[in-house]
Amino acid sequence: MTRIVAIDTTSEFGSLALAEEGRVIEEILIHSPDGFAHSLFQHLERLLKRHGWQYSQVTGFAAAAGPGSFTGVRVGLAAAKGLAEASGALAAAISNLQAMATYGTAPLRAPFFDARRGEIYGAVYDDHLELVQPEVVTKFPLWRAGLPEGAELLTPDPALFGVQATVTPRALAGAVALLAFDRLQDPAVLDANYVRRSDAELHWREPGA
């Protein structure tokens, strides 16, 4: 029996999900504007207890790998990797944009969401969830102008951008869990999907430069 625990802490609207044999058992939304490091495991313990799951019974731990908050991405990935290593399980890192694309119905799907600084994170996937256009961070009008004809827009905040779009849920852990079933691997190789460099990287200069 394959059991997945999925974690998404990439924005202030985080989520957790349990999935078994390709089906989501339960998904919860956790709104935490101050981050998840202090509360994530409390929520997870309650969720596992509600369904009688033990860590030793989990096949794999999946994390939403971004794009999103740099701190949030790190918290989720570290939790999934640590839990997997401690329990001898496998792990998976899943793109938030790909998880959003699962809620589309068109042959081409263009998930996007607010990246702040006047930009969005966006990409184009086909109905097999393969990338057609790469994940980028850019201005929304510029990105939209380059979309393939007929691409279905997907976002949690269509009103923010003044567009008609398929509304995706803020809780993505369920979609992350389902995508993880055939992507489980050694937790040591999991990596973040930042797309945009952090402020520290953007502002860093060579000494004497």
Q: What is the pLDDT of residues 76-115, one digit of tens each?
A: 999 999 999 999 999 999 999 999 999 999 999 999 999 9
Percent of the chain at pLDDT exceeding 70:
93
Quote the mean pLDDT of the chain.
93
Task: Output the pTM of the full model.
Answer: 0.92
The one-letter amino acid code at 39 reads S
Local structure of residue 181 (DSSP, 8 states):
T
Among 22-26, 29-33, 155-159, 163-167, the minimum mean pLDDT is found in 29-33
Q: Alpha helices, DSSP H only, in 110-198?
A: 140-145, 158-161, 173-180
Residues 6+ apart with CB under 8 A from 132: 108, 124, 125, 126, 148
Section 186-202 average pLDDT: 74
From the list 97, 99, 107, 110, the residue with the least C-alpha distance to 154 is 110
From the list 128, 114, 123, 129, the residue with the least C-alpha distance to 148 is 123
The pLDDT value given to residue 197: 58
The pLDDT value given to residue 199: 43
Q: What is the pLDDT of residues 157-175, one digit of tens each?
A: 999 999 999 999 999 999 9
| Cβ proximity of 150 and 106 under 8 Å | yes
| pLDDT reading at 207 higher than 90 | no
186 or 199: whose pLDDT is higher? 186
Domains and CATH numbers, the chain: 3-96+170-201 (3.30.420.40), 104-167 (3.30.420.200)
